[in-house]
Structure 1
Amino acid sequence: MQADDLILFSQVIELGSFSKAAEANNLTNSVVSKRIARLEAELGVQLLYRTTRKLTVTEAGNLLAVGAKNVEQAKADALAKVSGLGDAISGHIKMSVPTISGDLLLADAVAEFCNLHPGLSVDMSLDNKFVDLISGGYDLIIRTGYLDDSSLIARHIIDSQWVVCASPDYLKRHGQPKQPNELKQHNCLKYAYQASGGNEWEFKSASGHYFVKVNGSFSTNNATALRKAVLGGHGIVYVPRCLIYEDICKGDLIDVFPKLVGKKLGVYAVYPYTKHPPKKIKMLIEHIKQRYLAISEYFIEPTS
């Protein structure tokens, strides 16, 4: 038994004729007649007595009409709820963001967005790995890097420049390298979440980009731990500019190669492919982008 047949039966009774029900649903009279006959055959009872002048509902038809009306109302209610869902700034959003940006600005930005829209709640996890958006049930992820999955939509937010830095104390004790290749003689603290394990640091020259393979006594996948280690004077690091921007501004860390570091990655808002992304997702992305741009100097050196 199909729900649409029950709804059609309810409309036939309400409108009083097959022809009016056919017109309301853009069907022919014969199609309506066949669908009601199919419903009667499935139930094994006669629902209507049909003559050329009059339509009479049987006892079984009256009993079924109550349930059929409920089905029709349930469908109408469901459509009414869903039709405005795409534009509503309410409901729930599950998202994943990188740890550095999460600590720096996203926790505050997303919490602020929730306060601006009281009907909305957000579950935000901090993870540097590119989580599986679909199987993980995520509505939105913020990631730094490259996007390979063509079934996802990625909106560029800002670029993130990396830097090589060390504390003044470390450089006083061990000397400041003049060229990237001299890093091989230094204790290089590694950001281990990268695919290379943080061993290969990218630089640029007039002839193109190249990599220097480094070594060191300490490796971690936690950005906060790495920052503490370099501030403690224990070595040189290769990290996103935003992680240590304030430390460089205060003089607690020194940018060793301000013009030579070659690593610059895009920060993207990523969500499932859809022709009509929910308004709440689009507005949250825009809110996040403006917060990134408001402190763009943390991520990339101003051109002027």
Structure 2
Amino acid sequence: MTKADDLILFAQVVELGSFSQAAEKNSLTNSVVSKRIARLEKELGVQLIYRTTRKLTLSEAGKKLYKGATNVQQATIEAISTLSGFADSITGHIKMSVPTISGDLLLADAVAEFCTLHPGITIDISLENLFVDIIEDNYDLVIRTGRLEDSSLIARHIIESQWVICATPDYIKRNGQPVEPENLLEHNCLQYAYQTTGASEWEFKGENGTYIIKIKGNFTTDNAAALRKAALGGYGVAYVPRCLVYLDLMKGDLIDLMPNRVAKKLGVYAIYPFTRHPSKKIRLLIEHIRQRYLSMSEYF
């Protein structure tokens, strides 16, 4: 038994979240898996996994080793695939997380279509706005809008997402139309709590660069669908990603108030753990998602 085999087994324990599942996958007993991980820890002189009755948690050393172990595992899989012809088709499971706006708009459909195109693939898709811990929570792929701060992850840019200021014709008729960003101080501004810059800090273009207007309002939510409904109800002015309200703008149910003044534009990224060679199924899924975004580029 080589150290490479133990590294691959360690990666599987992390991905599956338990010794017993790794044992079952490799037709081993729990005690054999436990002994091999203990042997790896002894050889390296560090504890890799903290074991409790409920869950396994990676140590800092374990997190670093996991990145390298997945490289070994992926290289082994791809080498075998080349010989067996497996590379011509893709199989396996993908666990991914996507933001609620994109999930509702196109990603749920795009991912379901991908599964249909590749019958050997199963995908568990979670819709959530909070940035998940990819390594800790064993995600294979995450779609997110904003900035990537963890250098241990790889991000592929998909598209830019422009934000807009909008309100209903009825709201404008009752309260007047804000022409300049400063006019918003006189309006009820509906606030989206899921913003890195803060729900009440709206960014605009000025003659000397971008600047912030600190608005006020009586409604704040961290749910994009709820914010859209409040805007469509005529209760105030909303600052949202254009993709969320694109169809409403096209139908005239909402009016884009300052199309050339809103400065906020965020990148949409496909993010995955750092490996030299991301698996074929992940590469294909990212490209499939990218093409679906580009096919709807007018929404963004």
Matching residue of 2:269: 268
* Whole-angstrom distance in 2 between the partners of 1:187 and 1:141: 34
Q: Which amino acid in structure 2 is aligned with residue 113 of structure 1?
A: F
Matches within 5 A, 1:1-304: 83-84=80-81, 87=87, 88-299=89-300
CA distance in 2, matches of 1:119, 1:81: 17
Larger CA Rg, structure 1 vs 2: 1
**1: CA distance between counterparts of 2:126 and 2:202?**
28
Q: What is the root-mean-square deviation in Å for CA atoms of aligned residues? A: 1.8
> Is contact 1:190–1:197 with CA below 8 Å preserved after alignment?
no
Distance 1:139 1:251, change over 3 A: same
Q: CA separation of 1:90/1:176 partners in 2, compared to 1, >3 Å: closer, same or farther?
A: same
- Alpha-carbon shift at residue 158 of structure 1 (Å): 0.2
CA distance in 2, matches of 1:148, 1:3: 36
Please state how far the C-alpha of 1:144 moved relative to its aligned partner: 0.3
SS at match of 1:84: helix
1:86-135 Cα offsets, whole Å, 9 max, x none, are 94511100000010000000000000000000010000101111111111
Contact 1:142 1:268 in 2 (8 A): yes
Q: Note the C-alpha offset of 1:80.
A: 7.7
1:82 shift after superposition: 7.4
TM-score normalised per structure 1: 0.71
Give distance in 1, aligned partners of 2:279 and 2:77: 16
- Shift of residue 197, structure 1, vs aligned partner: 3.8
Q: CA deviation at 1:205?
A: 1.5
Report the 3-state secondary structure (helix = DSSP H, G, I; strand = E; otherwise coil) of the residue aligned with 1:160. strand
SS in 2 for 1:209: strand
CA pair 196-207 structure 1, distance change in 2 beyond 3 A? closer
SS of residue paired to 1:108? helix
Alignment partners' CA distance in 2, 1:197 and 1:149? 21
Residue 242 of structure 1 and its aligned partner are, at CA, apart by: 0.2
CA shift for structure 1 position 195: 3.3
What 5-or-longer segments of structure 1 have no aligned partner?
A: 5-78, 300-304
TM-score by length of 2: 0.72
In structure 2, what residue type is equivalent to 1:105?
L
Q: Tell me, in whole angstroms, the C-alpha distance in 2 between the residues paired with 1:280 and 1:81.
A: 11
Does the 8 Å CA contact 1:91/1:120 hold for their aligned counterparts? yes
Deviation at 1:3, TM superposition (A): 7.1
Q: Provide the rounded CA distance (Å) in 2 between the counterparts of 1:112 and 1:82.
A: 28
Q: How many residues align?
A: 224
Question: 1:93 and 1:82, CA in 2 relative to 1: closer, same or farther beyond 3 A?
Answer: farther
* Deviation of the 1:83 alpha carbon: 2.2
1:204-252 alpha-carbon deviations (Å, 9 max, x no partner): 0221000000110101111111111100000000000000000000000
